[in-house]
């Protein structure tokens, strides 16, 4: 179970460092069993060294929110995979719907970045998800399948720890209206089938499929207890240690029940 935070363009560096420090502190004093929950935070680029430092002794990995598909060059304002790995980044969010919407990112762009991430040993967290109009038109499955295929075509994935896919219905992001657990499960099953065809069962069964879209402590349990939901990509609730760790507690509970 992976609990991942996408801080987006929030907090300045001192506040980001303090948030990371309170996550570390919360984890070290957690009373419930979070032992097998995995954690990742994706702060803004300029926070990465400070956040990595604040989490040095905590079981939390650090990722970026995007990157360029080239190693280097005249791309003003961009950040490359070698830059991210050089400061200890392990993962990178790719194809977030906000990148697709505000920067016109296409599946081909996401694909080029996913190839690049793998070439540099970064775990791509590939985001997919339909709009409300597409859902109402009964197109959610085909849209999401198309995004998964577009992002991963030709991307070599040899083991489950080399990829994460996040299903983030656009209508649920930042709206306070999360998908129903069964709705999300249905889409995760579609993604799992797609990954199985592409990479085989041995890999696809264990690729973490995250749900994202208004996940909060109060709705996390229902979502995380679905068979194909392996964690959450969390936006606004990841901006406070209390709510981020509140979701983690629910993940821990689901894992504990699965062991019993």
- Catalytic amino acids? 96, 168
- Of 140 and 237, nearer to ligand PEP (C-beta) is 237
User: Rounded to the nearest whole angstrom, what is the least distance from the CB of residue 12 to ligand PEP in the complex?
Assistant: 19
User: Rounded to the nearest whole angstrom, what is the least distance from the CB of residue 96 to ligand PEP in the complex?
Assistant: 6
- Of 173 and 254, nearer to ligand PEP (C-beta) is 173
User: Rounded to the nearest whole angstrom, what is the least distance from the CB of residue 210 to ligand PEP in the complex?
Assistant: 9
**What values do phi and psi take at 62, rounded to 5?**
-120, 135
User: Rounded to the nearest whole angstrom, what is the least distance from the CB of residue 223 to ligand PEP in the complex?
Assistant: 11
- One-character DSSP codes across the chain: -EEEEE--S-S-HHHHHHHHHHHHHHHHT--S--TT-EEEEE--GGGHHHHHHHTTTSSEEEEES---SSSSSS-TT---HHHHHHTT--EEEES-HHHHHHS---HHHHHHHHHHHHHTTPEEEEEE---HHHHHTT-HHHHHHHHHHHHHTT----SGGG-EEEE--GGGTTTS-PPPHHHHHHHHHHHHHHHHHHH-HHHHTTS-EEEESS--HHHHHHHHTSTT--EEEESGGGGSHHHHHHHHHHHHHHHHHHH-
* Residue numbers at the binding site for ligand PEP (CB under 6 A): 6, 168, 173-174, 212-215, 233-237
User: Rounded to the nearest whole angstrom, what is the least distance from the CB of residue 213 to ligand PEP in the complex?
Assistant: 5
The residue number with the shortest CB distance to ligand PEP is 235
- Of 48 and 203, nearer to ligand PEP (C-beta) is 48
């Amino acid at each position: 179970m992976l609990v991942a935070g996408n801080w987006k363009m929030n907090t300045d560096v001192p506040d980001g460092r303090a948030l990371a420090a309170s996550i570390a502190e919360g984890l070290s004093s957690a009373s419930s069993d979070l032992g097998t929950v995995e954690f990742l935070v994706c702060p803004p680029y300029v926070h990465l060294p400070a956040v990595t430092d604040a989490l040095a002794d905590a079981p939390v990995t650090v990722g970026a929110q995007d990157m360029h598909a080239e190693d280097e060059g005249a791309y003003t304002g961009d950040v490359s995979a070698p830059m991210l790995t050089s400061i200890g980044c392990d993962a990178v969010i790719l194809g977030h719907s906000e990148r697709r919407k505000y920067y016109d990112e296409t599946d081909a762009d996401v694909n080029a970045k996913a190839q690049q991430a793998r070439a540099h040993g970064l775990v791509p967290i590939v985001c997919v998800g339909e709009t409300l109009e597409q859902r109402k038109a009964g197109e959610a499955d085909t849209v999401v399948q198309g995004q998964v295929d577009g992002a991963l075509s030709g991307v070599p994935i040899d083991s489950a720890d080399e990829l994460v896919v996040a299903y983030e219905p656009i209508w649920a992001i930042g709206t306070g209206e999360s998908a129903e657990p069964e709705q999300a499960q249905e889409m995760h099953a579609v993604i799992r089938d797609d990954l199985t065809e592409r990479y085989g069962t041995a890999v696809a069964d264990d690729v973490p499929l995250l749900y994202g879209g208004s996940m909060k402590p109060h709705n996390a349990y229902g979502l995380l207890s679905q068979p194909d939901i392996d964690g959450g990509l969390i936006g606004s609730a990841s901006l406070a240690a209390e709510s981020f760790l509140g979701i983690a507690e629910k993940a821990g509970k689901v894992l504990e029940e699965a062991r019993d």
